[in-house]
Amino acid sequence: MQEVQVSSRFALTQGDPRAHLDDFATAVAEGLSRPQKSLPCRFLYDEVGSELFEEICDLPEYYLTRTEHALLERRADEIAALLPNPVALAELGSGSSSKTRLLIDALLRRQSALRYVPVDISRTALEDAARSLLSDYDALQVHAIADEYTAGLHHVHAETERPLVIAWLGSNVGNFERSAAAGFLAGVWGQLEARDRLLIGIDLRKDADALEQAYDDAAGVTARFNLNLLGRINRELGGHFDLDRFAHRAVYRVEEGRVELGIHSLEDQEVEIAALDSVAKFEKDEMIHTEDSYKYSLEEIDTLAAASGFEVERRWLDPAGAYSLNLLA
C-alpha cells in the first residue's frame, strides 16, 4: 500500500495496481475456461464501469438509489443519534459519496469535525468525491483507500481512535452469495469493537418485473456497464472481443431471490486474448455469468446478521417496504 498526502485534509492510500491487473488476468483465464463461464463482479468497476454505474443510479428503472437516498433523508438524524459522539465514518464501495452526504450532514450537526474513510476500487472516483466533499465541508477530513473491500478494511480502523460507523450502502451485500455474504460480514465483525456499528442497506424481495427492469433498463446503460467487462479485457489484456456479437441479459430467479446478470454470445465464435496467449471459444447463446444481486426478506436479514456475529439494533424501511437500512451492532 502506498500513501499519498494530498493536503492537510486529504490523504489517499493506494493498493498495488499491478496486483489488481494480475488478479484480473488470473480471473479471466480461469473464468473463461470453466464449463460455466464466469467473471467476478468486482472487475466491472474499472474507471469506465464506475462512470457507467453512476449513470445507472440516475435511471428511472433503478429504484435502489433514490429509495435509499429518501430513507437517509428522513432517517439520518435518527441514525446519528444512535451512534457514539464523536464518531468517525468509513464507507465500503463509496463511489461518488452522494448519499453519504446525508450522513455527513447529520453527524456534523452533532460534532464539530468528522473523519471520513471511503474505500473504493476506483482511485478516480475517490479523488473526484474528495475534491467535492472538501470544498463543501470545512470540518471534514478524508483519508481515501483505493483498494478492494477486504484489503481496505484492514486499514480503516488505523485511521481513527474514535468509535467507528461503517456504511455499506446500495445493497452491495447482494452481490455475494448468501453464505459468502455471512462470511464477509463475519470478517467485518472481526475488525470492529463493541462500540462500533455497521449501517447496511439491503434491498428486499419484490415483484419480478420491477427487478428485471431495474437491471435491464430501456436506455441500455446497464447493458453497456455489463459489456464493458469485455471491453476491459480488450484494453488491459489484448482481447479481441467484438461487443456487438454479445448481449446483456438479466433474469430474476424467484425461489433463490436473486437477479442473475450475464453476457450471452450471439453466435458461435472464438476470441483471442493476447496477454493470456489463449483463445476463448463460445457457442451460440452461451453465457458468461458476471453478477448476482440477491434480495432479502426481513427474516433473511436477521439470519444474515446472526450468522456473522451481529444483531440488528435498528431497522428502517421506505413507505413501500421495498428497501431497508439496518444498523448492526
Are 267 and 136 in a shared domain? no
DSSP H helix total and E strand total for the chain: 10, 14
Are 122 and 200 in a shared domain? yes
Name the nearest CA neighbour of 11 among 175, 101, 146: 146
In-domain check, residue 42: no
- Domain holding 300: CATH number? 3.40.50.150
Domain span holding position 234:
208-294
Mean pLDDT of 149-154: 86
The three cell numbers of residue 115 are: 473523519
In-domain check, residue 153: yes
In-domain check, residue 259: yes
Confidence of residue 6 (pLDDT cuts 50, 70, 90): low
Which pLDDT tens digit goes with each residue over 178-232? 999 999 999 999 999 999 999 999 999 999 999 999 999 999 999 999 999 999 9
State yes or no: pLDDT of 16 exceeds 90. Answer: no
Domain total in the chain? 2
pLDDT, residue 312, reads 98
State yes or no: pLDDT of 128 exceeds 80. Answer: yes
State yes or no: pLDDT of 310 exceeds 70. Answer: yes
Strands 88-92 and 164-168, bridge-based pairing: parallel
Distance CA 62, CA 58 (A): 7
Torsion sign (Cα): 194, 199, 204, 209: negative
State yes or no: pLDDT of 294 exceeds 90. Answer: yes
State yes or no: pLDDT of 21 exceeds 60. Answer: no
Are 175 and 320 in a shared domain? yes
**Cβ(255)–Cβ(43) under 8 Å?**
no
**Cβ(78)–Cβ(110) under 8 Å?**
no
Are 136 and 269 in a shared domain? no
**Cβ(32)–Cβ(147) under 8 Å?**
no
Are 274 and 310 in a shared domain? no
SS3 188: helix
Predicted TM-score (pTM) of the model is 0.92
Are 283 and 300 in a shared domain? no
Are 167 and 226 in a shared domain? no
pLDDT, residue 153, reads 86
pLDDT, residue 157, reads 75
Which pLDDT tens digit goes with each residue over 61-75? 999 999 999 999 999
In-domain check, residue 247: yes
In-domain check, residue 32: no
Q: How many CA atoms lie within 13 A of 287 on its CB side?
A: 12
The three cell numbers of residue 302 are: 436477521
Average pLDDT, the chain: 94
Are 82 and 189 in a shared domain? yes
Confidence of residue 57 (pLDDT cuts 50, 70, 90): very high
Strands 10-14 and 140-146, bridge-based pairing: parallel
Type of residue at 276: L
Are 195 and 220 in a shared domain? no
Are 103 and 182 in a shared domain? yes
Are 286 and 157 in a shared domain? no
pLDDT, residue 19, reads 57
Which pLDDT tens digit goes with each residue over 132-143? 999 999 999 999
Strands 323-328 and 197-203, bridge-based pairing: antiparallel
In-domain check, residue 166: yes
In-domain check, residue 110: yes
**Cβ(302)–Cβ(49) under 8 Å?**
no
Are 226 and 143 in a shared domain? no
State yes or no: pLDDT of 17 exceeds 70. Answer: no
Confidence of residue 81 (pLDDT cuts 50, 70, 90): very high
In-domain check, residue 23: no
